[in-house]
Amino acid sequence: MKGQIVLAGFGCAATLCVSLCGCGRASAQRSTEVQSDRNIELTVYKEDFAMVSESRPVDLPDGHRRLAIDDISKQLDPNSVLFDWPKGDQQPEVVATTYDLGVGNGESLVSRLNGQHVEMMWPSNDGKPGDTISGRLEAADQGGSFALRTEDKLYVNPSGTIIATASATASTLPSLSVELESHRSEKTTMGLSYLTRGMSWSADYVAKLDPMADRAQVECWANVINKTGIPYPSAHIVLMTGSPNRSVLSGTMRRELAKAEPMGGADRFADSAKAPMDSDREHGVVVGAVGDIYAYKTPSTATIGPDQINRVSVLGTRSVPIKRDYAIRLAPLTYWTYENEASTQPHVPATLSISFVNDRDSNLGIPLPAGDMKFYDQDPDSHQRLVGAAAMGDTAKDEHVHLTLSNAFDVYAEYKIVKSTRIDKHTVQVTVQTLLHNEKQLPIELRVVQSLEGGWKATSDPDQGKRLDSGTIQWIVPMQPESAHKMIFTIEFKN
């Protein structure tokens, strides 16, 4: 039944199942009839919206033509739709556009056909098409009931199949149509761009630690979520950081697209912002500034399916030099600590942090989007195991990154106050003993941090801690595998 809409009703309750064969008007050319493939670019922002840019070949006759456009987002912003054509003297003129939200159920579909001339096919027992009658469909405002009025009869809730022409204004899918005035018959390419909700992305970093060296193999992936209801096959993807004001974004995009060829991608934005692109030939990622945010153009196309989370490579594997930082923070000391001489901490675990520099010498040196970084290390059987994760903020070029992963199981301290002495009315001395343990089979450099409050000075400190500021002293202690080190220091407080 090509060119028809068929609705099958069962029983007087008029429950409907719907099968559509063509959803536009008969006079409209459909863009997917001339090309099933779409040349697509997705510009995806982090906060649930994106810009879709496509180019489709169309065959336009001379004069007025209505063109129906299939495969568009269910969450399209109708006020953001832009059309573009190859440069020339006589470009087609867009007269009007129509966005049809589509109908969500059989009752709504019958409502769309209300008052129109249709046919009704009665059911048969032999599997062959049954007898048909013609009449006007009359649908009730509520409840889904309908009637078929012929010249001499009124059939209420008939148990049959409604057949309407494809020119009927009924569609179960969102659709966009454009009325064009073409100055000549031609085969040309139509550029289509629009904003849509229902799409977002987040960065996800994977770092595999080298157990024998201070290096990690770092990758960056983009998790693209597509809730627009349609697929985007073989799409070029540009990922945008930051949170632009969406109330003015549509106008901004209109101005940028008006100056550019369709499918310009990250290069278009870079040109408009007058900022150079940062292209990494080895790993393929292209980064460009767009005002105060950045665009990341992925090195290859990817198919973004509906209702899926698609992982797209942003940053190929890079060997990054890192520094493992084991740190122990001792309990704060104050003037009043002398009153609690028995204070002890039998087990103070060290925290493990990983730090690196986002520069060219570290095989990085591009702005890194915010995301979670998961760290993996090898177990004795050479299997990768998760050892910690941390959130990394937007990181500018040449910035230092410091990420705290977890407590270290076999690096810890035993802490206690061994002596408190009052020197005079305003002065006390507190002596602390800290036994540091490294039960690992590798040497480490352990950072011990002591916070202090009030006026203080170290009167005895064989390990020679460094005063970082008015309230902190720090020791860097090299430790051999499976070893212990005793630290004893005395702090004098004045009140």
| Domains within the chain, CATH numbers bracketed | 1-33+103-170 (no CATH), 35-97+181-203+222-317 (no CATH), 325-350+408-494 (2.60.40)
pLDDT class of 58 with cuts at 50, 70, 90: confident
Give the separation between CA 30 and CA 230, rounded to whole angstroms. 17
**Poorest-confidence range of 156-165, 245-254, 264-273, 384-393?**
264-273
The number of beta carbons lying within 10 Å of the beta carbon of residue 348 is: 17
pLDDT of 261 reads 39
pLDDT class of 245 with cuts at 50, 70, 90: low
% of the chain at pLDDT higher than 90: 39
pLDDT of residue 27 exceeding 90, the answer is: no
Token pair, residue 309, equals 């989370």
Backbone angles phi, psi at 481, to 5 degrees: -60, 140
* Better-scored residue on pLDDT, 385 or 108: 385
8 A C-beta contact, residue 92 and residue 60: yes
pLDDT of 182 reads 87
Non-local CB neighbours of 471 within 8 Å, separated by 6+ positions = 451, 452, 453
Backbone angles phi, psi at 427, to 5 degrees: -130, 135
% of the chain at pLDDT higher than 70: 78
Q: How many residues does the chain have?
A: 495
* Better-scored residue on pLDDT, 293 or 42: 42
pLDDT of residue 491 exceeding 90, the answer is: yes
Give the separation between CA 68 and CA 55, rounded to whole angstroms. 15
425-440 pLDDT tens trace: 899 999 999 999 999 9
pLDDT of 448 reads 97
pLDDT of residue 250 exceeding 70, the answer is: no
pLDDT of 216 reads 95
Beta strands in 198-307 (DSSP E): 199-209, 215-226, 232-240, 278-279, 286-290, 293-297, 302-304
188-240 pLDDT tens trace: 888 999 999 999 999 999 999 998 889 999 999 999 999 998 899 999 999 98
- H or E segment and range at residue 272: helix 265-273
Taken in order 465, 466, 467, 471, is the CA torsion positive or negative? negative
Of 20, 6, 17, residue with least CA distance to 144 = 17
pLDDT of 169 reads 57
Mean pLDDT, range 20-28, rounded to an integer: 37
pLDDT of 108 reads 64
pLDDT class of 379 with cuts at 50, 70, 90: confident
Average pLDDT of the chain, as a whole number: 80
Mean pLDDT, range 102-110, rounded to an integer: 60
pLDDT of 12 reads 36
* Better-scored residue on pLDDT, 138 or 452: 452
pLDDT of 474 reads 96
pLDDT class of 258 with cuts at 50, 70, 90: very low
Mean pLDDT, range 30-58, rounded to an integer: 78
334-364 pLDDT tens trace: 888 766 666 788 899 999 999 999 999 999 9
65-85 pLDDT tens trace: 888 888 888 888 888 899 988
pLDDT of 272 reads 36
Give the separation between CA 368 and CA 47, rounded to whole angstroms. 18
pLDDT of 247 reads 56
